[in-house]
Amino acid sequence: MNARRSLRSVKLILPALTEATSPGWRPIKYSLFPPLGLATLAAYLDPDLEISLQDEHVEKLGLSDQPDLVIIQVYITNAYRAYQIADHYRARGSYVLLGGLHVTSLPDEAAQHADTIFIGPGEHTFPQFLRDLAAGVPQRRYESAVRTLEALAPIRRDLIQRHRYLVPNSIVVSRGCPHHCTFCYKDAFFAGGRSFYTQLVDDALAEIARLPGRHLYFLDDHLFGNPRFARDLFRGMMGMGRIFQAAATVDSILRDDVVEEAAAAGLRSLFVGFETLSSSGLEAAGKRQNLGRSYREVVRRLDSLGIMINGSFVFGLDGDDGDVFRRTVDWAVQAGITTATFHILTPYPGTALFTDMAARNRIETQNWDLYDTRHVVYRPSRLSPEELKRGYDWSYEAFYRWGSIFEAASAHRSAKHRLKHYCYSVGWKKFERAWDTVIRIKQLSQMRPLLEAVLAPVAAAVSDHAPEGLPNKDLQPAAAGVTMSRRG
Ligand code: B12
Ligand code: SF4
The atom of ligand 2 lying closest to the CA of 225 is 4
- Give the pLDDT confidence of 183-209 residue by residue, as tens digits: 999 999 999 999 999 999 999 999 999
Distance from the CA of 174 to the center of ligand 1, in angstroms?
14
- The amino acid present at 188, given as its one-letter code, is A
Per residue in 246-275, pLDDT tens? 999 999 999 999 999 999 999 999 999 999
Residue with CA nearest ligand 2 atom 3: 221
Q: Give the number of the ligand closest to the Cα of residue 251.
A: 2
Per-residue pLDDT, averaged over 17-31, amounts to 69
pLDDT for position 462: 37
26 lines ligand 1 (CB under 6 A): no
Would you state the pLDDT for residue 5? 57
pLDDT tens-digit readout, 280-326: 889 989 998 998 899 999 999 998 898 989 999 999 999 999 999 99
Q: What is the pLDDT of residue 488?
A: 43
Q: What is the tens place of the pLDDT at every residue in 341-396? A: 999 999 999 999 999 999 999 999 999 999 999 999 999 999 999 999 999 999 99
| Nearest alpha carbon, ligand 2 atom 2 | 221
Protein residue whose Cα sits closest to atom 6 of ligand 2: 181
- pLDDT band at 32, cuts 50/70/90? confident
Ligand 1 centre and the CA of 372: distance in Å?
12
- Ligand 2 centroid to Cα of residue 248, in Å, is 9
What atom of ligand 1 comes closest to residue 176's alpha carbon? Answer: 57
Report the candidate in 75, 80, 131 with the shortest Cα–Cα distance to residue 99: 75
Better pLDDT: 430 or 206: 206
Ligand 2 mean position, distance from CA 290 (Å): 11
Burial class of residue 236 (count of CB atoms within 10 Å of its CB; 0-12, 13-18, 19+):
middle
Query: Closest Cα to atom 62, ligand 1: which residue?
Result: 487
Among 186, 196, 312, 351, which is best to mutate for testing ligand 2, by the most ligand atoms less than 8 A from CB?
Answer: 186
Which H or E run contains 452?
helix 448-454
CB distance 373 to ligand 1 below 6 Å:
yes
CB 202 within 8 A of CB 233: no
In this prediction, residue 229 carries a pLDDT of 98
User: Given this model, what pLDDT does residue 87 score?
Assistant: 98
Say what the pLDDT of residue 1 is: 53
> How many angstroms separate the alpha carbon of residue 129 from the centre of ligand 2?
30
Dist CA 447 CA 28 (whole Å): 12
405-417 mean pLDDT = 84
Q: Which ligand is nearest to the CA of 184?
A: 2
Task: Report pLDDT digits (tens) over 71-124.
Answer: 999 999 999 999 999 999 999 999 999 999 999 999 999 999 999 999 999 999
The pLDDT, as a whole number, for residue 422 is: 77
Give SS3 for 451: helix
Confidence of residue 22 (pLDDT cuts 50, 70, 90): low
- Closest to 74 (Cα-Cα) out of 373, 371, 378: 371
Q: Label the pairing between strands 196-198 and 174-176.
A: antiparallel
* Burial label, 257 (beta-carbon count in 10 A; 0-12, 13-18, 19+): exposed
Distance between CA atoms of residues 228 and 125, nearest Å: 29
Element (H, E) at 273: strand 267-275
- Please compute the mean of the pLDDT values over residues 210-214 and round it to a whole number: 94
The answer on pLDDT for 472 being more than 50 is no
Distance 179 CA to ligand 2 centre (A): 6
| Atom of ligand 1 at shortest range from CA of 40 | 52
